[in-house]
Amino acid sequence: MTTPTAFPRRLLLQGGASLGLTGLTGLTGLTSLVPSWAQAPAAGATLGTPVRGGTLTVLIDPEPPTLTTIAHSAGASVLISAKTTEGLLTYDFDLSPQPQLATAWSVSSDGLQYTFALRRGVKWHDGKPFTSADVAHSIGLLKQYHPRGRATFSSVAEVRTPDAYTAVLVLSKPVPYLLTALSAAESPIVPKHLYESGKADANPNNNAPIGTGPFVFKEWVRGSHVTYERNPEYWDNPKPYVDRLIVRFIPDAAARAAAIEKGEVHLSPGTPVPLGDVERLRARPNLVFEPNGYQYINNVSRVEFNLENPALQDLRVRQAIAHAINRQVVQKTVWYGQGRLIPGPVHPALKKFYVPGLPVLPHDVKQAEALLDAAGFTRGKAGGNLRLKLALVPIPNEGGQRTAEYLKQSLGRIGIEVTIGAQDFATYVRRVYADRAFDLHVSVMSNTFDPTVGIQRLYWSKNFKKGLPFSNGSGYSNPEVDRLLEAAAVEVDEGRRSAAFAEFQRHIVRDLPDITLLALDNYTIADRRVRGHTVSADGIAGNLAGAWIAA
């Protein structure tokens, strides 16, 4: 398969069937277009003849702040959005594009024009036709409102719509990863007629979505569940196979594990159980642990500094905190071994960009104390035997909380008193990105499928905007890092692009706006009876149109 970074070469794909495999015969110069799940079935692949009917129950933790990702990239929202709201493309496990709302696409030889032939006969859930005007309007909203889309689509100068079924993205500069950025959850296509007025991030449709997808929204019972019903007018007939989809929210980790074990829920993405229960549940004969379906996500655990705090503006203080952290303890004890230690911000799954040999400050309490002394934060400066007091806001899940408790203990040994804030997910987002009411922030962030999309947002100074979630929360600004990120975002030569990202990583581990700890393991815990749930790179974050329940 010609990759999106291989410009200037013309790329033309076509397809129309549910798996995007028909209409492809006769094309030359392409590698296999059969998705990797079809070549070597994952546990969630379609095995047997699909059965119509039944209710599929999915467990998501935490409850999402919104049901549509046009202006949001919260992990829980990413998992739920595509059930109603589709994208132009979907992707196999190798991130090769497959048709969804677009059936064919081509890229000009200079990489500055992307032409999409859109699927005909598609209707929004309110009966209005889907057209190229919806695509153009959605790209504009993503460019303005989406935490990652602000960068992804920043070079889109205009979206031309020569007819109702053709959309042409005209770029001012090449975007070498663009064809990989068009999945439903990452770049949703929303109805123009419902988003023409007002701010996209406050649109009522975000919480009661009308889309083109296989499931129609029915209700959101806050604190409990969301109910969807089968879309009888779905373009990919006879899908979806199940009559009803229920997405449940269970805040207590032990209760989540019990619901999974008893078969009360069928699909549980992101390993949402107590970390200590993973191996016990893995041995249950009614359950399958599916590692596929996370190729589009690539989560990392990190500790972020608020660089608006004068104390944390001193590199020596940040280095002292890094020296106080025993990464091996974080991996083995805090996360129960469910992850891999990494030295910098890039997940190892992004093989072209990962630099394994970056320097890591070792666990050294004496060096930490010496650095704090040199920075003027001597014992007693903050009262008693304390040097400094810091407020820590962890992402509200078990891994975040356990990491926070570990940091409280570790930093206490070097004279830093840590106060841990407890909050629900919406409050957590507000405290970090709107109120800026934190000094340290424990987060889990997605590298996504490309560093420009998943990583640039965390370090690019232009992505530091009060209220913009899952972005540059530290307030980090380095002109050379900005230059490297901006160069990599438009570089079509893979070697030069990788070199720019390697140099970027060296700056980050020197400047320490954050400390990346682990590349996290992710599994979908699935009831063995459910088939067809993990068939693409985004796994359960896909639309689940092909999921069915075996007798």
Q: Does pLDDT of 8 surpass 50? A: no
**Domains of the chain, with CATH numbers?**
299-520 (3.10.105.10)
Dihedral, CA of residue 436, residue 441, residue 447 and residue 451, to nearest 10 = 60
Q: Does pLDDT of 42 surpass 70? A: no
Q: If 0-12 CB within 10 Å is exposed, 13-18 middle and 19+ buried, where does residue 96 land?
A: buried
For all residues of the chain together, what is the average pLDDT? 90
Which two three-digit tokens encode residue 12?
């033309």
pLDDT confidence of residue 487: 94
Residue 23 confidence class, pLDDT cut points 50, 70, 90: very low
Contact 550, 51 (CB under 8 A): yes
- For the segment 180-190, what is each residue's pLDDT rounded down to a tens digit? 999 999 999 99
- For the segment 148-161, what is each residue's pLDDT rounded down to a tens digit? 888 889 999 999 99
Place of tokens 């689509």: 153
**pLDDT over 90 for what percent of the chain?**
84
- What is the value of pTM for the model shown? 0.77
- For residue 456, the 8-state DSSP code is H
What integer is the mean pLDDT of 231-250? 98
Question: What is the CB neighbour count within 10 angstroms for residue 110?
Answer: 11
Distance CA 102, CA 106 (A): 11
pLDDT confidence of residue 37: 27
For residue 391, the surrounding DSSP H or E stretch is strand 388-394
Name the percent of the chain in helix, strand, coil, to the closest 5: 30, 20, 50
What integer is the mean pLDDT of 445-469? 92
Distance CA 148, CA 519 (A): 20
Residue 44 confidence class, pLDDT cut points 50, 70, 90: low
Q: Please choose, from the candidates 191, 188, 133, the residue with its C-alpha nearest in 3D space to the C-alpha of residue 165.
A: 133
pLDDT confidence of residue 48: 82
Task: Using alpha carbons, list the distances in angstroms from residue 418 to 197, 382, 441, 465.
Answer: 44, 12, 11, 26
Q: Does pLDDT of 370 surpass 60? A: yes
pLDDT confidence of residue 94: 86
Contact 2, 11 (CB under 8 A): yes
Q: At what angle do helices 398-412 and 315-324 cross, to 10 degrees?
A: 110
- For residue 344, the 8-state DSSP code is S
Distance CA 101, CA 379 (A): 62
For residue 299, the surrounding DSSP H or E stretch is strand 299-305
- For residue 17, the 8-state DSSP code is S
β-strand partners of 248: 59, 225
What integer is the mean pLDDT of 258-279? 94
